[in-house]
């Protein structure tokens, strides 16, 4: 059979592109391990502090508490898993043992456990129930096992206690299926013999590797994930995944800033995890039932963690019933709705992209790969370059206020400085600057209606790569301002958006305003019985993205 013209052309094109083919960039060490790459995909999972302290209203127990006190009345791990799954979390890490030494599983090495509690007549195993619930709901299961143990008589007798801890690790890591993360706190104290315990960290780590080769180990010094250096939900604008790991050990004092920032010349890939509680305490206290962090603060924390090269481990203190408290569940869902409102629609996906340089002019590294939504493709520059510009054409004037950038981290973290600009009426305006990117950087800026966006890499430690550029428009907010008005009992209502060009729509009967509702033009008056709800929309400008604000003026 004769070759067709199309086949010949394809052959010639193939040969031509082979002539240009270059190798991918040399890896820039340190590189992430495959288990770390899998972890980077997670981003957001639950911490549950639930143990003896839940029943004594404390944060740290003494280790002398009677097991009789542990008695949840309605414990339901399926309710936890269902709630966290609906909230968009990917796993749960449970305090299997906290500093007071009480074990949530019937350990054969101590009497200080659920087996001597009234819960399930001493027959219960919370790790069994939780790991089963995680499997049922498709969540990952992780454990916090405190080395500091204020109950264990051998604590302080270092070799003996280390053997005890290794045995417990084995129990927890071999009886409950796959464990995705083992969380080590660095706290250390003196035992009953007055001696300070010396932990055998190399043995602890080897035990985890032996029992759960895919599990990530968290501590101040990793070896897989590092503490971010604070428990308040903050992070550093500059965040290198690499760290000079050998300078660190669990519980190291005085180096919190470096734990946040990492090191540009770090020797090991050791990205940060932001651990923070939704309430003031780690454990449940009825007095904090209304003290959840606001949605705004949770969003800020999410940007600090997930949006800054790390992940968010958000603690939800399960209550004395053994349930996620209604108020915490409600806040988790509000937080999810707020994330969805920002991140549900990538305005850059599939849009054309040009670059100042494409590695070897090779299509395998072309600019358009940053908006193709594919998990394995990336743009890369020529070896000698430390800069680069990528320009996304939006093809229509589009309001935007978030950019998400991701480096191709299997080849290491490289970008050290960047700038974002937007084209408005043919002129480029600088909207944000930043430093590191790594696995993910979320850049936020004031809403701007632009028809193109530039991501300018100003400095890198090696030739830059970029896996993804995404653009989003968080809904504009609406503030409802009120003032007394004539006749008596009437109120003047003014609606103000943080984005002046947004269209504000409102209702007076409590119903949700949709884009076809009453358009706001000027202040108006209402009587006491009205319920005003308002939303701002980017009507006809790259899609409808609503925000809702409500004001109830004494309606029923
Ligand atoms: C700390 C512990 O001392 C707290 O009680 C809590 O468990 C927190 C997550 O880690 O170091």
151 within domain boundaries: yes
Q: How far apart are CA 406 and CA 464, in angstroms?
A: 11
Question: Which ligand 1 atom is the nearest neighbour of the CA of 283?
Answer: 5
22 within domain boundaries: no
Q: What is the Cα Rg of the chain in Å?
A: 27
Task: Quote the ligand 1 centre to 231 CA distance (angstroms).
Answer: 9
What does the pLDDT look like over 67-101, one tens digit per residue?
999 999 999 999 999 999 999 999 999 999 999 99
Cis geometry, peptide bond prior to residue 30 (ω within 30 degrees of 0): yes
Do 322 and 184 sit in the same domain of this protein?
Answer: yes
Task: Quote the ligand 1 centre to 72 CA distance (angstroms).
Answer: 22
Question: Which ligand 1 atom is the nearest neighbour of the CA of 315?
Answer: 9
Do 413 and 539 sit in the same domain of this protein?
Answer: no
Task: Quote the ligand 1 centre to 514 CA distance (angstroms).
Answer: 45
Task: Quote the ligand 1 centre to 185 CA distance (angstroms).
Answer: 7
Q: Is 187 touching ligand 1 by the criterion CB < 6 Å?
A: yes
Do 246 and 128 sit in the same domain of this protein?
Answer: yes
pTM of the model: 0.91
Q: How far apart are CA 457 and CA 477, in angstroms?
A: 31
Tell me how far apart the 2 most distant CA atoms of the chain are, in Å.
Answer: 93
Least-confidence region, from 276-285, 302-311, 354-363, 543-552: 543-552
pLDDT number for residue 181: 98
pLDDT number for residue 19: 53
The total domain count for the chain is 3
Residue minimizing CA distance to atom 6 of ligand 1: 282
Task: Quote the ligand 1 centre to 509 CA distance (angstroms).
Answer: 47
Least-confidence region, from 126-135, 399-408, 542-551: 542-551
35 within domain boundaries: no
Give me the percent of the chain exceeding a pLDDT of 70.
93
Residue minimizing CA distance to atom 11 of ligand 1: 185
Residue from 186, 274, 282, 285 whose mutation best tests the ligand 1 pocket (most atoms within 8 A of CB) = 282
What is the mean pLDDT of the segment spanning 193-219? 98
Do 359 and 288 sit in the same domain of this protein?
Answer: no
Six-digit token pair at 401?
């206020």
Do 279 and 401 sit in the same domain of this protein?
Answer: no
176 within domain boundaries: yes
Do 465 and 316 sit in the same domain of this protein?
Answer: no
- Domain containing 373 equals 353-472
Do 383 and 328 sit in the same domain of this protein?
Answer: no
Q: Residue 149: name the closest of 93, 205, 189 by CA.
A: 189
What does the pLDDT look like over 220-268, one tens digit per residue?
999 999 999 999 999 999 999 999 999 999 999 999 999 999 999 999 9
Question: Which ligand 1 atom is the nearest neighbour of the CA of 277?
Answer: 9
CATH number at residue 134: 3.20.20.80
Task: Quote the ligand 1 centre to 377 CA distance (angstroms).
Answer: 40
CATH number at residue 496: 2.60.40
What is the mean pLDDT of the segment spanning 433-441? 98
Task: Quote the ligand 1 centre to 268 CA distance (angstroms).
Answer: 25
pLDDT number for residue 419: 98
Q: Is the pLDDT of residue 45 over 60?
A: yes
Q: How far apart are CA 447 and CA 498, in angstroms?
A: 9
47 within domain boundaries: yes
Do 371 and 313 sit in the same domain of this protein?
Answer: no
Q: Is 220 touching ligand 1 by the criterion CB < 6 Å?
A: no
What is the mean pLDDT of the segment spanning 403-423? 98
Do 518 and 464 sit in the same domain of this protein?
Answer: no
Residue minimizing CA distance to atom 2 of ligand 1: 185
Q: Is 185 touching ligand 1 by the criterion CB < 6 Å?
A: yes
Task: Quote the ligand 1 centre to 250 CA distance (angstroms).
Answer: 13
Residue minimizing CA distance to atom 4 of ligand 1: 282
pLDDT number for residue 74: 98
pLDDT number for residue 7: 58
Residue where one domain finishes, among candidates 426, 447, 472: 472
| Residue 341, helix vs strand vs coil | helix
Do 357 and 209 sit in the same domain of this protein?
Answer: no
- Cβ atoms 221, 249 nearer than 8 A: yes
Task: Quote the ligand 1 centre to 54 CA distance (angstroms).
Answer: 14
Residue minimizing CA distance to atom 1 of ligand 1: 185
Give me the sign of the Cα torsion angle 240, 242, 244, 245: positive
Q: Is the pLDDT of residue 545 over 90?
A: no
Do 460 and 524 sit in the same domain of this protein?
Answer: no
* Arithmetic mean of pLDDT over the chain: 93
Residue where one domain finishes, among candidates 343, 368, 385: 343
HEC string of 479-497? Answer: EEEEEEECCCCEEEEEEEE
Do 75 and 220 sit in the same domain of this protein?
Answer: yes
Task: Quote the ligand 1 centre to 362 CA distance (angstroms).
Answer: 50
Helix axis angle, 326-343 relative to 295-305, nearest 10°? 60
Residue where one domain finishes, among candidates 472, 501, 530: 472
Task: Quote the ligand 1 centre to 515 CA distance (angstroms).
Answer: 47
- Cβ atoms 216, 225 nearer than 8 A: yes
Residue minimizing CA distance to atom 10 of ligand 1: 185
Least-confidence region, from 14-18, 41-45, 459-463: 14-18
Q: Is 385 touching ligand 1 by the criterion CB < 6 Å?
A: no
Residue from 187, 250, 256 whose mutation best tests the ligand 1 pocket (most atoms within 8 A of CB) = 187
Q: Is 275 touching ligand 1 by the criterion CB < 6 Å?
A: yes
């Amino acid at each position: 059979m004769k070759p067709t013209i199309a086949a010949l052309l394809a052959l010639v094109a193939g040969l031509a592109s082979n002539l240009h083919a270059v190798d991918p960039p040399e890896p820039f060490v340190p590189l992430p391990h495959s288990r770390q790459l899998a972890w980077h995909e997670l981003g957001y999972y639950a911490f549950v502090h639930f143990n003896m302290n839940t029943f004594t209203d404390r944060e740290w127990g003494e280790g002398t508490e009677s097991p009789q006190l542990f008695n949840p009345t309605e414990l339901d791990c399926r309710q936890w898993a269902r709630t966290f799954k609906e909230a968009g979390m990917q796993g749960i890490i449970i305090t299997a043992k906290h500093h007071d030494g009480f074990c949530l599983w019937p350990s054969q090495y101590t009497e200080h456990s659920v087996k001597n509690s009234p819960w399930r007549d001493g027959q219960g195993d919370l790790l069994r129930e939780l790991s089963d619930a995680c499997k049922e709901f498709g969540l990952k299961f992780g454990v916090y096992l405190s080395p500091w143990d204020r109950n264990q008589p051998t604590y302080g007798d270092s070799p003996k206690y280390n053997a005890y801890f290794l045995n417990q690790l084995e129990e927890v890591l071999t009886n409950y299926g796959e464990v995705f993360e083992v969380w080590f706190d660095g706290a250390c104290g003196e035992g009953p013999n007055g001696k300070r315990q010396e932990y055998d960290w190399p043995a602890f780590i080897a035990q985890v590797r032996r029992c759960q080769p895919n599990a990530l180990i968290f501590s101040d010094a990793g070896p897989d994930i590092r503490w971010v250096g604070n428990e308040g939900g903050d992070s550093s604008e500059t965040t290198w995944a690499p760290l000079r790991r050998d300078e660190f050990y669990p519980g190291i004092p005085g180096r919190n800033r470096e734990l946040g920032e990492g090191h540009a010349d770090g020797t090991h890939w050791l990205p940060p995890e932001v651990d923070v509680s939704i309430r003031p305490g780690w454990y449940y206290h009825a007095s904090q039932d209304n003290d959840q962090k606001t949605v705004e603060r949770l969003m800020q924390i999410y940007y600090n963690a997930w949006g800054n090269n790390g992940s968010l481990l958000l603690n939800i203190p399960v209550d004395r019933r053994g349930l996620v408290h209604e108020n915490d569940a409600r806040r988790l869902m509000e937080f999810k709705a707020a994330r969805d409102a920002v991140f549900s629609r990538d305005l850059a996906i599939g849009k054309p992209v040009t670059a100042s340089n494409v590695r070897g002019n090779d299509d395998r590294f072309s600019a358009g790969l940053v908006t193709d939504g594919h998990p394995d493709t990336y743009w890369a520059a020529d070896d000698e370059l430390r800069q680069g510009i990528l320009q996304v054409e939006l093809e229509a004037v589009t309001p935007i206020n978030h950019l998400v950038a991701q480096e191709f981290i299997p080849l290491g973290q490289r970008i050290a400085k960047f700038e974002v600009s937007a084209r408005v009426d043919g002129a480029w305006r600088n909207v944000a600057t930043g430093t590191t990117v790594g696995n993910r950087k979320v850049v936020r800026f004031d809403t701007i209606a632009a028809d193109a966006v530039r991501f300018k890499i100003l400095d890198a430690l090696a030739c830059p790569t970029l896996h993804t550029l995404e653009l989003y428009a968080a809904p504009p907010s609406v503030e409802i301002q009120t003032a007394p008005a004539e006749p008596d009992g009437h109120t003047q209502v003014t609606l103000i958006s943080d984005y002046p060009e947004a269209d504000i729509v409102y209702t007076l009967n409590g119903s949700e305003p949709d884009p076809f509702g009453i358009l706001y033009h000027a202040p108006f008056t209402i009587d006491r019985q009205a319920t005003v709800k308002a939303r701002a929309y980017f009507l006809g400008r790259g899609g409808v993205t609503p925000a809702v604000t409500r004001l109830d003026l004494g309606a029923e």
